[in-house]
């Protein structure tokens, strides 16, 4: 029996909790179990490959020893099946990992940074860095890209975010790099570093297998669907311990204060940059057809010329400190990391002399121009689209605003409410949605939007609206449960938050099952004949009669367990003898325009068993 999303989540949370208790009580036993689990992945992979090779080798030996066996193998094609299985398994294992991208820093051009990295690497006895990339984000990371897939031979890449370097002084940025290098250094020990890499590797393998559609990938996917999450959960405690150890390494190589301030900066300043710089900058697209400023040049000036208000800094820091260490991120909460460093939570000071200026020197303006050009190239068309969208929306809103509210139809009132929320955020759209609900009391969409607006204002009244929306329209249930779970988490009502999270997970499972039963058809599906005078029958007749080459058409409805109101049909066609089947099928698909999912199959094609049942249980349209 397939386990539910809730059961899987609770099982993983139990594994993580047990691992955290075990690493505290008996670290050696825990490390042994983690090592055995890490090795298990390799054992299964190579054992499967060995068995297939052994069978193939044995069959080949038998074939060489006996001509009759060789003839039998060739007739039954067993040897070819085995060889194909071996090939597909090896192909599934030969996974290509995405290479990190960014502006490559040739370190001999940046001697200050080169010397900094050399000193840190030497002190930590860290593996060699093969390249250093600069990206636009407020982030830093070490990426190990295996040249040989799961077999390793790693290429180590240090990624530094330009925003981070521009907003931190050198000592704090040095602490960030020390933290990242600490994940791979001798300070963690070879064992921890190996588990850290294996953990990432198996997660990547699972993602890659999910993208492949062949027998070998399917064979491994069955194992990794269980193994990768279980290993990730059980090794979670070690990964979290590594974060604390990396913080300690950063404090040792810089200072506790620098490490603490770097952590605070990454939680506080990164958020305020989004709120006070990027959001106002992007909002300019509402009024101007193209960017009139270079974003990173202006960001550099913003950081040099502006000081965040002390009250704003403290408020954002207080908010960041409310975060709790949980089961969904190996990084501990800020409050716990500062406690481990034995440092107070002090608001960040502005970077008078940034790490970007110190390490990149006279090349900084050129680098900023590079990221400006890249941003404008990537976002210029989107900016223009946003501008045009805003002009059209505001124009339509102005037209509706000119009509007295008492004269608006229900559709016009709904449109005005939706446009007001998007294009006039300074106006309260809630009364408009409430007025619409007064006109259309059974509209589930109105209940949902009103509930969302009220819950976002921390108004308990929104709960009842969400419940009404779910009762009226099941397709709204997942989003409604997510909103209710979020509302109760914000209210620190863990019992109610947990209830609605489970309800959301249950609805997610239903939605997944609904998608799966609509993804394919087979000869065992339950069918029922549609009413001959139904709207869809008339539409299909009108749309397909003019299509040349279509001789006969039959229609049957597939009975759905989930969302039966969302109809799904199977349309069977018989073509004229001179028509190509695939081209005829495509012509029918292009001609169809019905408000339902419709599988189109040929009467005598590869789906003839399904077609035979559909013809028997359905109706002939013409």
Q: Do the beta carbons of residue 553 and residue 566 sit within 8 Å?
A: no
Same domain flag for 463 and 580: no
The residues, any chain, with a CB within 8 Å of residue 250's CB and separated by 6 or more, are: 175, 176, 178, 179, 182, 258, 259, 262
For residue 187, what pLDDT is reported?
44
Q: What is the average pLDDT across 245-253?
A: 92
CA distance 60 to 170: 65
Instruction: Please name the residue that has the structure tokens 């002399």.
Output: 353
What is residue 220's three-state secondary structure?
A: helix
74-86 per-position pLDDT tens digit: 665 666 666 666 6
Nearest to 441 by CA among 477, 407, 465: 465
More confident: 111 or 200: 111
Whether residues 357 and 318 fall in one domain: yes
Q: What are 163's two structure tokens?
A: 């925003």
Tell me the HSE value of 519 on the side-chain side, using a 13 A CA sphere: 6
**Residues 142 and 157: beta-carbon distance below 8 Å:** yes
Task: Give the Cβ contact number of residue 60 at 10 Å.
Answer: 15
76, two tokens = 């039954």
Q: Which residue has the higher pLDDT, 71 or 402?
A: 402
Write the pLDDT tens digit of every residue in 403-460.
998 899 999 999 999 999 999 999 999 999 999 999 999 999 999 999 999 999 999 9
Residues 236 and 182 in one domain: yes
The parent domain of residue 41 ranges over: 5-93
What angle is formed at CA 338 by the lines to CA 335 and CA 342, rounded to 5 degrees? 130
Specify whether 29 is located in the same domain as 102.
Answer: no
Q: How far apart are CA 464 and CA 16, in angstroms?
A: 35
Inter-axis angle of helices 494-519 and 477-490, to 10 degrees? 160
- 102 and 246, same structural domain? yes
**Do 456 and 380 reside in the same domain of the chain?**
no
| Total domains present in the chain | 4
Rounded to the nearest 5°, which phi and psi values hold at 129?
A: -85, 125
- Region 358-369: what's the mean pLDDT? 95
Antiparallel, parallel or unpaired: β 527-528 and 550-558: antiparallel
Least confident of 116-120, 126-130, 223-227, 391-395: 223-227
Q: Are 614 and 583 members of one domain?
A: yes
Domain C-terminal end among 485, 519, 553: 519
Q: What is the CATH number of the domain that holds 567?
A: 3.30.70.1350
* Band of pLDDT at residue 57, cut at 50, 70 and 90: confident
Phi, psi of 291 (to 5 degrees): -60, 135
Between these two residues, 95 and 26, which has the higher pLDDT value?
A: 26
Q: Tell me the pLDDT tens digit for each residue of 4-32.
A: 999 888 888 888 998 889 988 998 898 88
Same domain? For 506 and 573 the reply is no
211 pLDDT band, cuts 50/70/90, is low
Looking at the structure, do residues 289 and 214 belong to the same domain, yes or no? yes
If phi over 0 gives left and psi between -120 and 50 gives alpha, with beta otherwise, what is residue 204?
A: alpha
Q: Give the model's pLDDT for residue 80.
A: 66
Residue where a domain terminates, one of 60, 93, 126: 93
Q: Which of 369, 385, 401 is the last residue of a domain?
A: 385
Residues 448 and 459 in one domain: yes
End-to-end CA distance of the chain: 43
């Amino acid at each position: 029996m397939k386990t539910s999303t809730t059961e899987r989540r609770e099982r993983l949370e139990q594994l993580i909790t047990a691992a955290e208790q075990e690493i505290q009580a008996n670290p050696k036993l825990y490390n042994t179990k983690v090592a055995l689990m890490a090795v298990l992945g390799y054992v299964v992979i190579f054992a499967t490959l060995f068995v297939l090779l052994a069978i193939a080798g044995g069959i080949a030996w038998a074939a060489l020893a006996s001509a009759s066996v060789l003839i039998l193998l060739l007739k039954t094609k067993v040897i070819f099946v085995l060889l194909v299985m071996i090939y597909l398994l090896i192909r599934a294992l030969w996974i290509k990992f995405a290479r990190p991208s960014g502006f490559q820093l040739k370190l001999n051009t940046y001697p200050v940074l080169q010397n900094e990295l050399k000193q840190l690497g030497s002190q930590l006895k860290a593996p060699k860095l093969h390249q250093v990339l600069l990206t636009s984000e407020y982030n830093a990371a070490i990426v190990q890209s295996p040249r040989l897939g799961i077999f390793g031979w790693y290429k180590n890449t240090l990624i530094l975010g330009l925003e981070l370097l521009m907003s931190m002084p050198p000592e704090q940025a040095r602490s960030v790099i020390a933290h990242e290098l600490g994940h791979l250094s001798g300070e963690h020990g070879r064992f921890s570093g190996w588990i850290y890499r294996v953990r990432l590797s198996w997660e990547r393998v699972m993602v890659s297998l999910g993208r492949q559609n062949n027998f070998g990938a399917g064979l491994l996917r069955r194992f990794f669907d269980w193994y990768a999450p279980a290993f990730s959960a059980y090794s979670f405690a070690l990964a979290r311990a590594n974060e604390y150890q990396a913080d300690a390494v950063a404090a040792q190589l810089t200072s506790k204060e620098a490490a603490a301030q770097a952590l605070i900066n990454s939680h506080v300043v990164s958020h305020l940059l989004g709120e006070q710089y990027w959001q106002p900058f992007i909002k300019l697209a509402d009024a101007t057809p193209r960017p009139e400023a270079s974003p990173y040049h202006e960001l550099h000036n913003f950081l040099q010329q502006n000081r965040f208000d002390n009250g704003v800094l403290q408020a954002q820091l207080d908010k960041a400190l409310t975060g709790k260490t949980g089961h969904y991120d190996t990084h501990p909460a800020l409050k716990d990391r500062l406690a481990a460093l034995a440092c107070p939570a002090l608001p960040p000071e502005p970077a008078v002399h940034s790490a970007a200026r110190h390490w990149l020197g006279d090349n900084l303006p050129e680098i900023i121009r590079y990221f400006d050009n890249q941003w404008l190239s990537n976002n210029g068309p989107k900016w223009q689209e946003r501008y045009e969208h805003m002009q059209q929306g505001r124009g339509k809103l102005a037209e509706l605003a000119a009509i007295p509210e008492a004269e608006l139809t229900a559709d016009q009132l709904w449109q005005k409410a939706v446009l007001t929320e998007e294009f006039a955020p300074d106006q309260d759209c809630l009364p408009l949605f409430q007025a619409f609900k007064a006109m259309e009391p059974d509209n589930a969409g109105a209940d949902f939007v009103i509930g969302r607006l009220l819950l976002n204002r921390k108004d308990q009244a929104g709960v009842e609206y969400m419940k009404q929306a779910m009762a009226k329209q099941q397709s709204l249930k997942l989003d409604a449960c997510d909103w209710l779970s979020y509302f109760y988490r914000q209210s620190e009502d863990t019992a109610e938050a947990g209830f609605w999270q489970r309800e959301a997970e249950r609805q997610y499972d239903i939605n997944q099952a609904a998608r799966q039963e609509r993804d394919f058809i087979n000869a065992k599906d339950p069918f029922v004949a549609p009413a001959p005078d139904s709207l869809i029958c008339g539409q299909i007749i009108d749309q397909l009669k003019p299509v040349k080459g279509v001789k006969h058409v039959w229609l049957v409805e597939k009975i759905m367990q989930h969302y039966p109101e969302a109809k799904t049909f199977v349309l069977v066609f018989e073509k004229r003898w001179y028509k190509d089947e695939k081209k005829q099928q495509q012509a029918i698909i292009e001609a169809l325009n019905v408000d339902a999912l419709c599988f189109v199959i040929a009467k005598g094609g590869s789906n003839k068993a399904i077609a035979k049942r559909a013809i028997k249980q359905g109706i002939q349209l013409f």
